[in-house]
Structure 1
Amino acid sequence: MPRILAIDYGNKRTGIAVTDELQIIASGLTTIPSETVISFLKDYFSKEKVSTVLIGEPKQMNGLPSESTPVIEKFVATFSSEFPEMKVIRVDERFTSKMAFQTMIDSGLSKKQRQNKGLVDEIAATILLQDFLTRKMI
């Protein structure tokens, strides 16, 4: 069975998470500079079967698009033109960064380790993906 991949795209960094081949468990894959996402994915897709890509959709508390929406929309357009055969699902990413930070605290990471913003992005992508898997199974 092909994997599902989640992308938490940001201006500077992008967190990426992926499922196992049975699409049961979400795991953080990496955090990379945002300008390298497309080349990273080309390489990854050449090695691994991926059926679906989740891309975070930033929203404000009231449900309206956030100020980072234009940047994400531009990335989605580029992604779709580079990988037209790939199924893309947009998912609400509200609170994922806060949940990621709380996960780091709950895991006992030191203050210095919690300052690693790349790790926050990777955990946020994992949360997006695990939430999607949970809802899919209900």
Structure 2
Amino acid sequence: MARILAIDFGKVRTGLAVTDELQIIASGLTTVPTKELIPFLKDYIAKEKVECFVVGEPKQMDATASESEALIIPFLKTLSDTFPDLPVHRVDERFTSKMAFQTMIDSGLKKKQRKNKALVDEISATLILQSFLYSK
């Protein structure tokens, strides 16, 4: 089997998470500057088998698209054009940043460590991926 790669897309940086090859466990991969995302994905996919992408879908509380969806739409087009053979799934990402922050608190990270926004993005991507795995 191949891995599933989740993307928590952001204007400045993007969190990434992947499954193991059996698609059982979601783990944080890294956070990359958004402008370097496509080259990073090309390099990663050259080394690892990836079955599909899971991209967070930011929504308002009333389930309408949030403002950041406008940034994600062009990225989705680029992603599909760059990797035409890999399907892209969307997952509601409401509350993932808050859940990621709470996870950091629960795991005992110090206040200074919790200010690491890159780590929040990576954990958020992991939560998005875990949500996708539960829905399968």
Q: State the TM-score, normalizing by the size of structure 2.
A: 0.99
Structure 1: how far apart are the matches of 2:90 and 2:98? 19
Residue 48 of structure 1, CA deviation? 0.3
Unaligned regions of 5+ residues in structure 1, if any? Answer: none
Structure 1: how far apart are the matches of 2:89 and 2:131? 13
Structure 2: how far apart are the matches of 1:37 and 1:76? 12
Q: Residue 94 of structure 1 aligns with which residue?
A: 94
Q: Residue 54 of structure 2 aligns with which residue?
A: 54
Confirm or deny that 1:32 pairs with 2:32: yes
Q: Identity of counterpart residues, as a percentage?
A: 67
Structure 1: how far apart are the matches of 2:134 and 2:64? 25
Question: Could you give the per-residue CA deviations for residues 81-131 of structure 1, whole angstroms, max 9, x where no partner exists?
Answer: 111111100111100000000000000000000000000000000001111
Residue 134 of structure 1, CA deviation? 1.7
Residue 132 of structure 1, CA deviation? 1.1
Q: Residue 2 of structure 1 aligns with which residue?
A: 2
Alignment of 1:61-72 (within 5 A): 61-72=61-72
Q: Residue 105 of structure 2 aligns with which residue?
A: 105
8 Å contact 2:91–2:131 — kept in the other structure? no
Q: Detail structure 1 runs of 4+ shifted over 3 Å in the superposition.
A: none
Confirm or deny that 1:120 pairs with 2:135: no
Q: State the TM-score, normalizing by the size of structure 1.
A: 0.97
Question: Could you give the per-residue CA deviations for residues 57-77 of structure 1, whole angstroms, max 9, x where no partner exists?
Answer: 110000001011110111111
Superposition CA RMSD, Å: 0.5
Unaligned regions of 5+ residues in structure 2, if any? Answer: none
